[in-house]
Amino acid sequence: MNRLFEEFKPSIALMPQSLASTNKTGNYMLAAKRNVFVVNIGTTTDAATIALQVLQGTSVVPAATKDVTGATCTATMCTNISKLDIETNAATNAKVAIINGVTYTKAAAYSYANKEFVTPADLILLINGWQVDTLYAYAGAANHLFVTGRNPGFTAITYTGDTEGAGKLIPLPYESFAWVDVDAGALDLAGGYKYIALKVTTVGTAICGGILLQTGEYLPVTTYAAGTKVQPNL
């Protein structure tokens, strides 16, 4: 039986960096039969979007590039994320934190039965009680708590509650990921487009880094006039 790293070859698609309402394209690499770009998304602003688009080019430094049709996806914070950071300090009463459809309400006094909280510690107790089968909450920095899945990677977190400034009730997406898969058959091979790269575009600020996983045979290498060849990354 082959080991996993023998089945999938990883390459760096995009160095981790902060993107503030801008875009960045990573290195062009020779396509294989099957290719999947995976982007790890770190701390972002609330409601930021991270759009992935696979580009195709004619070389590692292509003079001509274009989108690979359909090879795109968009991640929206705070929807289906892996880890959530909530800052809450003296939020206005009746403001709500809705996490995966369960509503917790800021109130004058703590009540487990009514899902009412005053402090971050209260909210931790509520989440770990009412959503014990799927979520786990724990203390972060002062006035912060983290929410993650009991089985990270399988449980997604969505926050749809209120946002109140000045640190009163602020959801802060902390960890997430997105991916886009592209088959070599989707490239314009007849036009010489054998190389692929990932373009990441953000609205809002997000820390993003990406890898490329490939399996199957690589496309034929390109020979240049000087006689050199661009070999597959080994």
Each domain of the chain, given as residue ranges in start order, spans: 4-76+177-230, 83-157
Q: Which two tokens stand for residue 220?
A: 């034929």
What is the pLDDT averaged over residues 30-57?
A: 94
Q: What's the pLDDT band for 152 if we cut at 50, 70, 90?
A: confident
Could you report the per-residue pLDDT of 102-119, keeping only the tens digit for each?
999 999 999 999 999 999
For residue 225, is pLDDT > 90?
no
pLDDT value for 4: 63
Given the DSSP bridges, would you call strands 195-203 and 49-57 parallel, antiparallel or unpaired? antiparallel
Mean pLDDT of 172-179: 94
- Give the amino acid at 76: T
The confidence score (pLDDT) of residue 45 equals 87
Burial 205-233 (b: 16+ CB within 10 A, else e): ebbbbbbbbbeeebbeebeeeeeeebebb
Strand partners, 24: 200
Does residue 69 register a pLDDT over 70? Answer: yes
- Provide, rounded to the nearest whole percent, the portion of the chain with pLDDT above 70: 91
Task: Give pLDDT, residue 1.
Answer: 59
The topology (CATH level 3) of 4-76+177-230 is: Jelly Rolls (2.60.120)
pLDDT, residue 229, reads 41
